[in-house]
């Protein structure tokens, strides 16, 4: 199942120094017990304040995960303030209320407002990525995201519609352009990230997913057919009830397998084809391990009535980060120092009136 990712990686063009560069693995030091205390307080205060505390809850959660994510012994930082997030949520809530009131009083206006929201959506996407990037930092240097509205419209509206019109045939290309849009417009300090994955690598992932779905469907059909034939042999025409119950379970497992494969292979493809100058990222997630994580997490959360959510989030984050590394071509300290000098010389203010989190 990982063949598509490996094939895609083989198409990446990089110099010998990058290929042989030493790997600096990411580390995650978060603990389920520590995070549970933050999580339960966030839940209770959000309920007691009718959702207002959710902005503070988001900041506490992100600062915990960022602060426990290390690269070369240095932690990441989340710099946003709760009021910035609350401002964005209040604006979103106000727009939603206006939409409900207007559509209830003047129903024919609903399609017009829907089109208006579609036109605004790309701007919201750009603002969300910009906010998350600019309020994230590593070694006191902020990340960045710069993209124009026109390109966002082309990707999030134009290509999304094309994927629908073609009944999904263009969806891999949409996934490719969406990933390229985010990565190629992101940066660290004054240096932009580069994205080198080809579109055909995304098509390979989805082609593999279709083949897995077909193979899984055949296997499930054969197994259920054999059970029906064997167990109902003595009573023709009768199919045991539990066999029919198992059928949807098998189908769900197959679709979960396909979904996890797409998520895992896509993550490996995107991260392993993202670079910062000559420093390249590498992701080595395994579909089988991710599938096991999702299944055991779901069981633990269900059996604990939700109390194991922090444990599930911690173990999933740990696995993802421990399978991520930065292939450093040269001294990372020197590179960070050059970014600090460049940012200081630029002296650009990133905050403005519209600097808020839109929650996408």
Q: Where are the domains of the chain?
A: 1-30+207-351
For 48-65, the pLDDT digits (tens) are: 999 999 999 999 999 999
- 346: pLDDT confidence band, cut at 50, 70 and 90? very low
**pLDDT value at position 337?**
66
**pLDDT value at position 298?**
96
Measured in whole angstroms, how far is the alpha carbon of residue 273 from the centre of its chain? 16
DSSP line for 304-354: TTTTTHHHHHHHHHHHHHHTEEEE-SS-HHHHHHHHHHHHHHH------TT
Measured in whole angstroms, how far is the alpha carbon of residue 192 from the centre of its chain? 20
**pLDDT value at position 225?**
75
Q: For the chain, give the percent of residues with pLDDT over 70.
A: 81
The answer to which of 167-171, 285-289, 291-295, 348-352 has the lowest mean pLDDT is 348-352
Give whole-number Cα distances, 52 to 96, 143, 354, in Å: 16, 28, 20
Q: Does 326 have pLDDT greater than 50? A: yes
Q: Does 204 have pLDDT greater than 80? A: yes
* pTM score, whole prediction: 0.83
Average pLDDT of the chain is 85
Q: Does 319 have pLDDT greater than 90? A: yes
Query: Which residues fall within 8 angstroms of residue 22, CB to CB, at 6 or more apart?
Result: 327, 328
């Amino acid at each position: 199942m990982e063949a598509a990712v490996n094939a895609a990686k083989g198409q990446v063009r990089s110099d010998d120094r990058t290929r042989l560069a030493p790997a600096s693995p990411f580390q995650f030091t978060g603990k389920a017990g520590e995070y549970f205390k933050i999580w339960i307080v966030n839940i209770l205060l959000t309920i007691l304040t009718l959702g207002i505390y959710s902005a503070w809850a988001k900041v506490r959660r992100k600062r915990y995960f960022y602060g426990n994510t290390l690269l070369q012994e240095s932690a990441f930082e989340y710099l946003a303030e709760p009021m910035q997030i609350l401002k964005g949520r209040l604006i979103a809530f106000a727009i939603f209320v206006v939409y409900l009131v207007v559509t209830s009083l003047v129903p024919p206006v609903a399609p017009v407002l829907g089109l208006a929201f579609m036109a605004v959506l790309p701007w919201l996407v750009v603002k969300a990525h910009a906010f998350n990037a600019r309020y994230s930092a590593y070694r006191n240097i902020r990340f960045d995201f710069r993209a124009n509205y026109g390109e966002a419209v082309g990707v999030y509206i134009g290509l999304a519609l094309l994927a629908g019109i073609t009944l999904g045939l263009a969806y891999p290309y949409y996934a490719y352009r969406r990933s390229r849009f985010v990565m190629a417009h992101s940066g660290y300090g004054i240096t932009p990230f580069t994205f080198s994955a080809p579109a055909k690598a995304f098509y390979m992932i989805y082609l593999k997913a279709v083949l897995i779905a077909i193979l899984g469907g055949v296997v499930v059909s054969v197994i259920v057919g054999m059970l029906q034939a064997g167990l109902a042999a003595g009573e023709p025409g009768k199919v045991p009830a539990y066999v029919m119950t198992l059928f949807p379970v098998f189908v769900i497992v197959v679709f979960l397998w396909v979904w996890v494969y797409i998520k895992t292979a896509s993550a490996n493809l995107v991260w392993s084809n993202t670079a910062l100058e000559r420093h390249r990222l590498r992701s080595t997630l395994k579909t089988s391990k991710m599938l096991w994580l999702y299944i055991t997490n779901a069981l633990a959360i269900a059996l604990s009535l939700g109390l194991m959510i922090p444990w599930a989030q911690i173990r999933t984050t740990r696995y993802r980060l421990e399978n991520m590394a930065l292939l450093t071509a040269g001294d990372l300290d020197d590179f960070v120092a050059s970014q600090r000098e460049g940012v200081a010389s630029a002296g650009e203010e990133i905050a403005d009136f519209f600097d808020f989190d839109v929650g996408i």
